[in-house]
Structure 1
Amino acid sequence: MERILVVEDELKISRIIELQLKFAGYKTDTAFDGAEAIIKASQNNYNLILMDVMMPKMDGITACNAIKKINPEIKIIMLTAKDDIQDVISGLDSGADDYVTKPFVFEELLARIRANIRKKAQPTTSSDLLFFEDVIINSITFEVTRSGQKIELSKTEFDLLRHLIFNKGIVLTREQILNKVWGYDYYGSLNIVDVYIKYLRDKIDRDYERKLIHTIRGRGYVVR
């Protein structure tokens, strides 16, 4: 049985989420601030954490960053009341794998949970090295270098870059990228693709004169 930690400071909301998750077949624990979440994450083996952003003592973004340092493999979905792209980027920068904006439909949250847990469970089977220009991707060690410089990427960033380079020269729509990188049962906004493209560009292209990731207006993205 998958185990989920619910980190939410509002008792009523926390209780509703906890009961719904238990009804859906998940084992659940709760924490009411970021500091408590870090302690529980270090003491228990969770498949996924639902993390509220705005909390007392320690906010969810700070807690997410700390937990990812303890266990980079754990999946974290941020729960945010702000429909602001900057708030989303802050959460993703802290290591979060996904986000859901409050108020949300619980079926959507369950779909996100299933997609993230399944993504963690899927092993990487490709043993190939991918090369493009001065970029090398190692699918076994999950290492990426450009011009010999190692570039630190999250799991989702790595998957996105690998997909783009594997399809180099081919314009990929946001829907195609979403389905391949996040999965066909991902019901979130297409905007998450744009967010990760921006984040990837900051790491892959920003410090280099030659830009590899290109936007094709009205169509999607391409590496060329």
Structure 2
Amino acid sequence: MYWHKARAVSQTRLLPTYPPTVPATINVDIYFEATQKARILRDLTYQILSEIARTMQTIHYIPGDAIIKRGSKKCKIIYITYGDIEMLTAEDDTTPILRFTRGTVLTPCGCAAAAAVGTSHLAVRAATFCTAHVLTAADLWRVVNKHAVSQDHAGPILASFTDHIEKVKRHYQMKIPDKSIHKSSILHFNRNLMSLKKMKNANGEPLLAGSDIFLEIAGCYIMRNVGRFFKGFRQYHY
């Protein structure tokens, strides 16, 4: 099992030797739960789901592997069927802020035409050994276009996506945002420090040439905000 996981082996050589109906039935049994978890695939017929299941892939991740990179296209539906994953903060793409277990669907509307062009704002990585069932937007719409003559499958997909967007809008319109007591400024400070590093004087020489100066600036910044942090911490907890 570890040999398969380490090399991300997701296909077998045995299924192609059987008649076409057998692999199709097996694929539907394997990926049926993933198709029902995806919001835009729930209302499709069993026939089209069996065709979609044949294009889905099983991908194995080892701890630390990147499942979704920040800035990448949301063109996949990823269903975590085994293991835990972590969502990372956008400040450093390293610190985990949320942890999800199996049964989680990443980008449930990612294969919709309108969502596939969007970019991810956060990164997701594998916290443990993980197994994911993945469907790409290209494979989905290739199957939909293939069967578009007999039945319209794009309509239910678009309707599900539109309904999801409307529910999200109503959810956030009903919520009154709370004023944040503490605002993280690490990312803003890092950008200013990098800009300061590139600045030069009239002679073309860097203003801050030594690394010790950067460490001193960072130390002063941290010490300046320590008192503010503990003051807010006491107000919040006491």
Normalising to structure 2: TM-score of the pair?
0.30
Larger radius of gyration: 2
- Normalising by structure 1, what TM-score? 0.31
More strand by share: 1
